[in-house]
Amino acid sequence: MAKTRIVFILYPRLTQLDFTGPYEVLARVPNTEVIIASKDGGVLKTEMGLTFTDLAKLSDVSSADMIMIPGGPGQTEAMQDADFMAEVKRLGAGARYITSVCTGSLILAAAGLITGKRAGSHWAYRELLSMFGAIPDDARVVRDGNVITGGGVTAGIDIALTIAAELAGDDVAKMIQLAIEYAPAPPFNSGRPELAEEKTVAAVKQLFSAFAQQRREAIEHMTGTA
Amino acid sequence: MAKTRIVFILYPRLTQLDFTGPYEVLARVPNTEVIIASKDGGVLKTEMGLTFTDLAKLSDVSSADMIMIPGGPGQTEAMQDADFMAEVKRLGAGARYITSVCTGSLILAAAGLITGKRAGSHWAYRELLSMFGAIPDDARVVRDGNVITGGGVTAGIDIALTIAAELAGDDVAKMIQLAIEYAPAPPFNSGRPELAEEKTVAAVKQLFSAFAQQRREAIEHMTGTA
C-alpha cells in the first residue's frame, strides 16, 4: 500500500507550536510520509525566533494526500503571496484531506479550498473566515467532509489525534496519545474566552488588536469588500 | 530589572515537542531572554527528523537563571557525553531554577542537580530516576523547591505554564494560556497508563522496551550498579 503523504505547508513567522504539535503526532502514524515544505525550502524563521532548516521546496512536492497549514502572524502576508498561494491551490486540489490549525484555515479559505465548509480558527480571528465564504465554527476540532480544521495553536494536538484515528484507526491514535503522555492538566482554566476571566480576555484582545485589524484590512482588500 | 535568562539545553534526537511546547509558552513571558543551545551550536536534528538551526553553543552561554532540558531517545547518549554534561553542570550550578520535561529529568539527575529531590519523567522511564538518587513522582507537574519537572512530552505545556506563573504571576500565565487557546479536548482518554486500555499500554510498552532496556543498562554502567 502506498504511504499517505502528509505535506505541512509552512511560511515565515508562523506560530511554531501550530506546526510542531501536530507534527509530533502525525510523524508517529504508520504508513505515512511526512514532508515539511515552504515556498523557498531550506531555512524558515518562526514567530518567536525558532528556526527550522532542511525544508523541502513546495514546487518540488509533486502531490499530497493531505495538506496541513498552521497559523501565526505571518499568515496575513502568506495569503497575499501569489506564488505561495498557487502551490497551496495545486497541492490542495489533489489532496484527499484539507487540514489546518489556528489561522491556517484563513489560508485554506483564501485559496478557495473550503468555500461553504464549516471551519475552525483561533478564537480571535475565527469570524474572518466568513469573509472568504467559509463558515466559522467554534469547536476545538471541526470536521466537514474531508476538511479538518480547529481552534488556535494547542488545538493542533487534538486535531492531529483526530486525523491519526481517521488514517490509522482509534487504537493507533490511542497509542500515540499514551506515547506522548497527553493527559493535559492546565494549571489554570483560561484557555478560551468563555472560560477566562474578563480582564484576561480584554488584555489578550488588546495584545492582538493590531494583528486583527491588519488581517481584516488585508481580507477586505483581497475580497473587494472594503 | 535584568531579564530572566532561560536556557533550553538541546541535544540530538530529542523529542521536539518536549522542547517546542514549553518554548511557545516561555517565549511569551515578559522580561525573559530565551536562549536555545546545544553542545555544538548550529544545526540539530530531532527524533522524527525535524531540524533546527541557529542554535547557540552551550560553551558560549555565560550563565542561566533557568535551565530547561527536554527528553527524547537521544537522552541516553547525551547523559553519557562528558562535554555535554559538563555544560549542564556548569549552567545548572548557577541557575535559580532547574527544570525539565519528560526524560530530560534523567539528565538533571545524572548531573547531580536533583539528588534527593522529587522529580517527574515520562511514565515509561520514571522509576529510573531513583538509580541516580532522585525521587520519582507521578504528577504531571512536579515542584520541589527550585526544581520543576514533570511527565512526558505534552506535559511540557503544563510545566511551562506553571513556570510562567512563577516568573510573571498568575495573570500573565492565564493570558498566555488564552493566547495559545489551551483548553485541551483530547478525542480519547488514553494519555496515561492508568487511563488507557490494557492493550494500548501493552502495545506502547512493547514499542518502548528496547529504549527502556538501553536506558537502564546505561545508568547501571554509569552508577556502577550493574
> With an 8 Å Cβ cutoff, are A181 and B48 in contact?
no
Q: What is the pLDDT of residue B225?
A: 79
Q: Which of B24, B44, B167 to mutate to test the interface with A (most CBs of A within 10 A)?
A: B24
Q: Which residue has the cell 484555515?
A: A105
Nearest residue in B to A28, CA atom: B48
Please say if the pLDDT value at position A1 is more than 70. no
- Nearest by CB to residue B175, choosing from A15, A36, A200, is A200
* CATH number of the structural domain B4-187: 3.40.50.880
Q: Specify the pTM.
A: 0.97
Nearest residue in A to B29, CA atom: A48
Quote the distance between the C-alpha of residue B161 and its chain's center.
14
The band of A101, judged by pLDDT with boundaries at 50, 70 and 90, is very high
- Residues of B72-105 as b/e, b for ≥16 C-beta within 10 angstroms? bbbbbebbebeebbebbebbbeebebbbbbbbbb
How do residues B133-148 score in pLDDT, each as one tens digit? 999 999 999 999 999 9
Per the DSSP assignment, residues forming a β-bridge with A38 are A10, A57
> With an 8 Å Cβ cutoff, are B183 and A16 in contact?
no
Of the residues B102, B108, B113, B147, only one is catalytic, namely: B102
Instruction: Identify all chain A residues contacting B174, using CB atoms and an 8 Å cutoff.
Output: 188, 190, 196-197, 200
Candidates B18, B5, B7, B20; CA nearest to B52 is B20
> With an 8 Å Cβ cutoff, are B180 and A152 in contact?
yes
The grid coordinates listed for B126 are 520514571
Quote the distance between the C-alpha of residue A72 and its chain's center.
9
- Whether the CB of A199 is below 8 Å from some CB of chain B: the reply is yes
The grid coordinates listed for A88 are 497551496
Question: What are the extents of the domains in chain A?
Answer: 4-187
Please say if the pLDDT value at position A225 is more than 90. no
The grid coordinates listed for A38 are 515552504
* ipTM of predicted complex: 0.97
Could you say which residues of chain B have pLDDT below 70? 1, 226
Candidates A153, A187, A202, A201; CA nearest to B150 is A187
Q: What is the pLDDT of residue A95?
A: 98
- Whether the CB of B165 is below 8 Å from some CB of chain A: the reply is yes
B residues 65-124 lying closer than 8 A (beta carbon) to A: 102, 122-123
- Residues of A91-109 as b/e, b for ≥16 C-beta within 10 angstroms? bbeebebbbbbbbbbbbbb
How do residues A148-195 score in pLDDT, each as one tens digit? 999 999 999 999 999 999 999 999 999 999 999 999 999 999 999 999
Q: Round the average pLDDT of chain B to a whole number and report it.
A: 97
How do residues B189-223 score in pLDDT, each as one tens digit? 999 999 999 999 999 999 999 989 999 999 999 99
Rounded to whole angstroms, the Cα distance separating B3 from B1 reads 6
- Whether the CB of A171 is below 8 Å from some CB of chain B: the reply is yes
Rounded to whole angstroms, the Cα distance separating B221 from B226 reads 6
Q: What angle separates helix B16-26 from helix A16-26, to the nearest 10 degrees?
A: 160
B101's CB contacts (< 8 A; 6+ apart) are B18, B19, B21, B22, B68, B69, B70, B71, B149, B150, B152, B153, B155, B156, B159
- Whether the CB of B135 is below 8 Å from some CB of chain A: the reply is no
Provide DSSP, A98-133. Answer: EEE-TTHHHHHHHTTSSTT-EE---TTTGGGGGGGT
How do residues A58-76 score in pLDDT, each as one tens digit? 999 999 999 999 999 999 9
Q: What is the pLDDT of residue A106?
A: 98
Candidates B100, B94, B92; CA nearest to B143 is B100
- Whether the CB of A149 is below 8 Å from some CB of chain B: the reply is no
Rounded to whole angstroms, the Cα distance separating B99 from B142 reads 10
